[in-house]
Amino acid sequence: MIQKERIEELVREAIAGSSLFLVSVKVSSGNRITVLADRNEGITIDECVAIHRHIEAGLDRDAEDFELQVSSPGADSPFHVTEQYLKYEGKMIEVIDAEGKRYAGVLKNVTGGGFELECEVKVKGKGKEIKDFSFNLDQVKTARAILTI
């Protein structure tokens, strides 16, 4: 079976020196490889093709057959890496914390360990107020962009 770490290494080689970042790598037991990569401005098809070719060149089909897919995460996909939080800084996101509580607000002050979320909350007898919530990344069950039209 092809090792996930080997694919991650090949992707990092392919994107070195660019503004692209690795989101995730999955390798199934049948050697179906799925690579998700992105950049703040979005990844192009040509960049996906270049990563695909680099991975293929680094693997030996004679030793192990595999299926390979390289793409960007969907616009509504959950965040996996800090770079995704940075990409959506200043935009609306939804967060579900480790306890299952749901928050929606503007993503602010992203660091390697956490972020703030500016939310509009209802206050009994006062209407709505803006309140900041701080999260460590390990407190977050899922986070994703809120798509607006």
pLDDT per residue over 104-129, tens digit each? 999 999 998 999 999 998 888 888 89
Residues 63 and 95 in one domain: no
Element counts in the chain: helices (H) and strands (E) = 3, 8
pTM: 0.88
Q: What pLDDT does residue 125 have?
A: 81
Taking the chain (149 residues) in runs of 10, the rounded mean pLDDT of each run is: 94 96 95 96 96 96 92 92 95 96 96 94 85 94 91
Chosen domain end from 71, 104, 120 = 71
Q: For residue 77, tell me if it sits in a domain.
A: no
Domain of residue 23, residue span: 4-71
Chosen domain end from 27, 49, 71 = 71
Residue 140 parent element (H or E): strand 140-145
Beta bridge partners of 122: 128
Look-up of token digits 């030996």: 60
Q: For residue 76, tell me if it sits in a domain.
A: no
DSSP for residue 26: E
How many structural domains compose the chain? 2
